[in-house]
C-alpha cells in the first residue's frame, strides 16, 4: 500500500501516460481518416489583379504580358515586379502591331523589334533596358582607353526630366558638362552624324529619283523600323535606304577619321552612345557593324573591332549621374560639344524631322539653290499625327511627294498600301515610336503610359531650337578644326561635314562612304509566319 501511494505522488504513471497518448493517436487518426477537421490550404494567400478574379465563363479583355527572350539584347524583365497588368501587350500589339501578327506556334525566335515601348508602358519598371552601365564604367576607368560618347538629338530634351526640370526642358549644355564630369574623354554630337546621314541618304534619294531606282525610298535611321521590315515586309527591303543610322555612321567614322585626326590608335577608342532608344542596343550588336563586315573592321582589316561598343539609354545616363555625381543637374554650367551638328540634325529626334532635314538639303542638292523659307518650317510633316503626307515643289523635278509615319501599326498600314500599289510618294520616313525618338523606348518615364502632353513639350523645345538655329559645338576634341557658334539649320552647310568629305570621304556615296556609312539588311521572314 505504501509503495502504491509513492507512485501516485510522483504524478502520472507510465501506464497512464501511454494510454493517454494512444488515445490521442486513435482520435487523431480517426478525425483524419473521416475528414472531420478543417483543411489548411497553403494556396491562394496572395492576390491577383481584379480582372483575373472573375467567373471563368467571363472573358477577360486585358491579360498576360509580352513574350520576352531572356537573352534579348535590349530588354530585360524582372518577374518580381510584374503585376500582369497587360500594358506591355497593349503597346506591343495595338501600338506596334508586333505581338499577335504572326502565326503560332512560334518558330525559333521571340519576335521583338526592340523598340522598348513596353518598357515605357510598364508601370512598375519590371521591363527595363539591359544595362551597359557597368561596362561603360569599366571603359572609363581603364587608363588605356579613349572613351568617346555621342548623344542623340532627342536626349537633350529628355534627360532634364530625370532631374526635375519639367517635360521637354532643354538640357543640352548640362548634359555635356555631366558627361565630362563622369569621365568621358570626348563628347560628340549625333546631330553631326545626322547631318552626314542627310548627305548620304539625300544623295541616294536623288540618285533613285533621277536614275529610276526603287521608290519610295524608306528612311533607315530607326532600328526598330528596320527590323520590322526585315520580319514582316522582306519584299520591301530594297526600298530601305542603304544609309546607316546616324549612330552607326558615327561609330565607324569616329574609329577611322576622328581617330586619325586625334592621333589615337583606333583600338583604344571605345564608342559609347547615349540614345533615347533601346533598339539601338540591338542595332549596335548587328553583325553588319562588327568585325570584317563592319566599317572600322573592314577599313583596318581587323575582325576584333566593333563600330559601336556600348549604347546607353537616357535613363541609364541619369542613373550614372545619380550614382557618381552629387550635383544639382539643372544648374550645371553649360558645356560645349567637341563637334558641330546642325539643327536640321537636331530635329531628327521628332517624327517628320528626318524628312524635313532631308528636304531642306535635297532642294539644294537638286537645284543648287538655298531652300525657300517654307522648307525651313515644313508644317505638314510636323506634329504627332501617325501618318502625314506632304508635297514639296522642287524646280527641275516637279513635286517631291513624301510620307511621314510614326508608330509601327501605322507603318504596317502604309506598307500594305505600298504593296497594293496605292502609295503615291517618293520618300517615306518611319519612326517606330509614336512621336519619334523624343518618345523613344529609352527616354525618361515622365508619364506612364506615355502621354501626348509630354511628347508635345519635347517636340516644341526641339523646333524652338531649330527655329533659332543656334548650335553649340566646338572643334578640338574630335580632332576637327572648324569652330562654329552661330546659326546652322542646314545639314549640308555644316562646315565639319564639308571637312569630312574634303579630307576623308571625298563625296557622298563614294567607295569609302559606302563602307563606312552604308549597310545591308537581312531577310528575317523565315523566323515567323506572317498573319
Q: What is the DSSP-derived secondary structure letter of residue 470?
A: B
Q: Which of residues 249-308 bind other proteins (CB under 8 A)?
A: none
Q: If binding is defined by CB under 8 A, does position 373 make contact with other proteins?
A: no
What mask, x for binding other proteins by CB under 8 A, covers residues 40 to 59?
xxxxxxxxx---xxxxxx--
Contacts of 383 (CB under 8 A, 6+ apart): 351, 352, 459
Q: Which of residues 194-233 bind other proteins (CB under 8 A)?
A: none
CB of 439 to other proteins, least distance (A): 25
For other proteins, the closer CB: 86 or 295 = 86
Q: If binding is defined by CB under 8 A, does position 421 make contact with other proteins?
A: no
Q: If binding is defined by CB under 8 A, does position 91 make contact with other proteins?
A: no
Q: If binding is defined by CB under 8 A, does position 89 make contact with other proteins?
A: yes
Among residues 65, 244, 250, 286, which is the contact residue for other proteins, using CB under 8 A? 65
CB of 3 to other proteins, least distance (A): 24
Grid cell for residue 366 = 537638286
CB of 105 to other proteins, least distance (A): 4
CB of 59 to other proteins, least distance (A): 10
Contacts of 293 (CB under 8 A, 6+ apart): 287
Name the strand (E) or helix (H) holding 139: helix 133-141
Round to whole Å and give the CA distance between 150 and 23. 81
CB of 141 to other proteins, least distance (A): 27
Contacts of 223 (CB under 8 A, 6+ apart): 114, 245, 277, 279, 280, 282, 283
Grid cell for residue 471 = 548650335
- Region near other proteins per CB under 8 A, out of 37-45, 117-125, 237-245, 337-345: 37-45
CB of 108 to other proteins, least distance (A): 5
Q: If binding is defined by CB under 8 A, does position 79 make contact with other proteins?
A: yes
For other proteins, the closer CB: 91 or 186 = 91
For other proteins, the closer CB: 6 or 80 = 80
CB of 53 to other proteins, least distance (A): 6
For other proteins, the closer CB: 38 or 263 = 38
Q: If binding is defined by CB under 8 A, does position 125 make contact with other proteins?
A: no
* Pairing assessment for the beta strands 217-218 and 427-431 based on DSSP bridges: parallel
Q: DSSP per residue over 379-444, as a string? A: GGG-SS-SEEEEEEEETTTEEEEEEEEESHHHHHHHHHHHHTT----SEEEEESSTTSGGG-TTS-
Among residues 1, 6, 14, 35, which is the contact residue for other proteins, using CB under 8 A? 35
CB of 29 to other proteins, least distance (A): 9
What mask, x for binding other proteins by CB under 8 A, covers residues 93 to 122?
-----------xxxxxxx------------
Do residues 257 and 513 touch, judged by C-beta distance below 8 A? no
- The SS3 assignment for 75 reads strand
Among residues 11, 70, 143, 212, which is the contact residue for other proteins, using CB under 8 A? 70
Round to whole Å and give the CA distance between 323 and 200. 39
- Region near other proteins per CB under 8 A, out of 1-9, 63-71, 116-124, 308-316: 63-71
In this structure, the chain runs to a length of: 531
Closest by CA position to 247, among listed 182, 308, 325, 338 = 308
CB of 320 to other proteins, least distance (A): 23
For other proteins, the closer CB: 126 or 272 = 126
Round to whole Å and give the CA distance between 465 and 342. 10
Q: DSSP per residue over 144-169, as a string? A: T-EEEEEE-GGGGGTGGGGGT--TT-
Name the strand (E) or helix (H) holding 312: strand 310-313
Count residues binding other proteins (CB under 8 A). Answer: 43
Name the strand (E) or helix (H) holding 218: strand 217-218
Among residues 27, 60, 214, 464, which is the contact residue for other proteins, using CB under 8 A? 60
Q: If binding is defined by CB under 8 A, does position 61 make contact with other proteins?
A: no
Q: If binding is defined by CB under 8 A, does position 66 make contact with other proteins?
A: yes
Q: If binding is defined by CB under 8 A, does position 453 make contact with other proteins?
A: no
Q: What angle do CA 144, 146, 148 make, to 5 degrees?
A: 155
Round to whole Å and give the CA distance between 130 and 446. 20
CB of 38 to other proteins, least distance (A): 9
Closest by CA position to 116, among listed 346, 279, 231 = 279
Round to whole Å and give the CA distance between 59 and 3. 79
Among residues 23, 26, 27, 64, which is the contact residue for other proteins, using CB under 8 A? 64
For other proteins, the closer CB: 45 or 373 = 45
Q: In what order do the strands lie in the sheet with 427-431?
A: 217-218, 427-431, 398-406, 387-394
Q: In what order do the strands lie in the sheet with 269-275?
A: 186-189, 146-151, 269-275, 310-313
Q: If binding is defined by CB under 8 A, does position 386 make contact with other proteins?
A: no
For other proteins, the closer CB: 30 or 502 = 30
Strand-pairing partners, residue 429, are 404
Q: If binding is defined by CB under 8 A, does position 33 make contact with other proteins?
A: yes
For other proteins, the closer CB: 116 or 352 = 116
For other proteins, the closer CB: 67 or 183 = 67
For other proteins, the closer CB: 60 or 502 = 60
Q: Which residues in this chain contact other proteins in the complex, by CB under 8 A?
A: 32-33, 35, 37, 39-48, 52-57, 60, 63-68, 70, 77, 79-80, 82-84, 86, 89, 104-110
Amino acid at each position: 500500500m505504501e509503495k502504491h501511494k509513492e507512485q501516485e505522488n510522483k504524478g502520472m504513471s507510465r501506464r497512464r501516460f501511454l494510454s493517454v497518448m494512444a488515445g490521442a493517436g486513435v482520435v487523431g487518426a480517426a478525425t483524419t481518416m473521416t475528414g472531420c477537421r478543417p483543411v489548411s490550404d497553403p494556396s491562394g494567400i496572395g492576390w491577383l489583379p481584379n480582372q483575373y478574379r472573375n467567373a471563368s465563363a467571363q472573358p477577360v479583355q486585358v491579360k498576360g504580358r509580352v513574350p520576352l527572350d531572356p537573352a534579348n539584347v535590349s530588354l530585360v524583365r524582372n518577374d518580381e515586379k510584374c503585376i500582369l497588368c497587360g500594358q506591355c501587350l497593349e503597346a506591343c500589339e495595338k501600338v506596334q502591331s508586333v505581338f499577335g501578327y504572326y502565326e503560332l506556334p512560334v518558330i525559333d525566335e521571340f519576335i521583338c523589334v526592340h523598340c522598348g515601348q513596353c518598357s515605357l508602358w510598364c508601370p512598375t519598371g519590371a521591363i527595363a533596358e539591359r544595362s551597359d552601365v557597368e561596362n561603360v564604367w569599366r571603359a572609363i576607368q581603364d587608363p588605356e582607353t579613349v572613351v568617346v560618347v555621342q548623344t542623340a538629338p532627342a536626349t537633350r530634351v529628355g534627360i532634364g526630366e530625370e532631374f526635375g526640370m519639367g517635360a521637354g526642358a532643354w538640357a543640352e549644355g548640362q548634359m555635356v558638362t555631366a558627361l565630362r564630369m563622369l569621365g568621358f574623354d570626348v563628347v560628340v554630337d549625333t546631330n553631326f552624324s545626322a547631318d552626314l546621314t542627310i548627305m548620304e541618304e539625300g544623295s541616294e534619294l536623288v540618285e533613285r529619283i533621277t536614275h529610276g531606282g526603287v521608290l519610295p525610298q524608306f528612311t533607315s535611321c530607326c532600328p526598330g523600323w528596320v527590323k520590322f521590315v526585315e520580319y514582316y515586309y522582306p519584299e520591301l527591303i530594297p526600298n530601305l535606304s542603304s544609309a546607316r543610322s546616324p549612330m552607326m555612321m558615327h561609330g565607324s567614322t569616329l574609329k577611322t577619321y576622328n581617330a586619325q585626326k586625334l592621333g589615337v590608335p583606333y583600338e583604344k577608342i571605345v564608342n559609347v552612345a547615349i540614345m533615347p532608344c533601346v533598339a539601338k542596343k540591338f542595332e549596335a550588336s548587328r553583325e553588319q557593324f562588327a568585325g570584317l563586315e563592319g566599317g572600322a573592321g573592314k577599313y583596318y582589316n581587323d575582325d576584333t573591332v566593333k563600330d559601336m561598343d556600348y549604347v546607353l539609354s537616357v535613363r541609364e545616363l541619369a542613373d550614372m549621374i545619380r550614382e557618381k555625381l552629387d550635383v544639382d543637374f539643372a544648374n550645371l554650367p553649360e558645356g560645349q560639344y567637341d563637334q558641330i551638328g546642325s539643327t536640321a540634325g537636331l530635329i531628327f529626334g521628332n517624327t517628320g524631322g528626318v524628312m524635313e532635314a532631308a528636304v531642306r538639303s535635297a532642294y539644294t542638292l537638286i537645284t543648287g539653290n538655298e531652300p525657300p523659307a517654307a522648307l525651313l518650317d515644313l508644317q505638314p510633316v510636323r506634329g504627332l499625327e501617325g501618318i502625314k503626307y506632304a508635297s514639296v515643289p522642287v524646280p527641275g523635278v516637279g513635286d517631291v511627294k513624301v510620307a511621314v509615319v510614326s508608330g509601327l501599326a501605322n507603318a504596317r498600314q502604309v506598307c500594305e498600301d505600298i504593296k497594293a500599289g496605292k502609295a503615291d510618294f517618293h520618300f517615306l520616313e518611319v519612326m517606330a515610336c509614336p512621336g519619334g525618338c523624343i518618345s523613344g523606348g529609352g527616354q525618361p518615364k515622365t508619364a506612364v503610359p506615355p502621354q501626348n502632353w509630354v511628347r508635345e513639350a519635347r517636340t516644341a523645345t526641339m523646333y524652338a531650337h531649330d527655329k533659332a538655329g543656334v548650335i553649340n559645338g566646338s572643334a578640338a576634341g574630335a580632332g576637327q578644326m572648324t569652330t562654329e557658334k552661330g546659326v546652322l539649320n542646314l545639314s549640308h552647310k555644316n562646315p565639319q561635314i564639308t571637312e569630312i568629305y574634303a579630307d576623308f570621304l571625298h563625296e557622298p556615296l563614294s567607295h569609302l562612304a559606302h563602307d563606312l556609312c552604308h549597310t545591308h539588311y537581312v531577310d528575317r521572314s523565315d523566323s515567323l509566319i506572317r498573319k
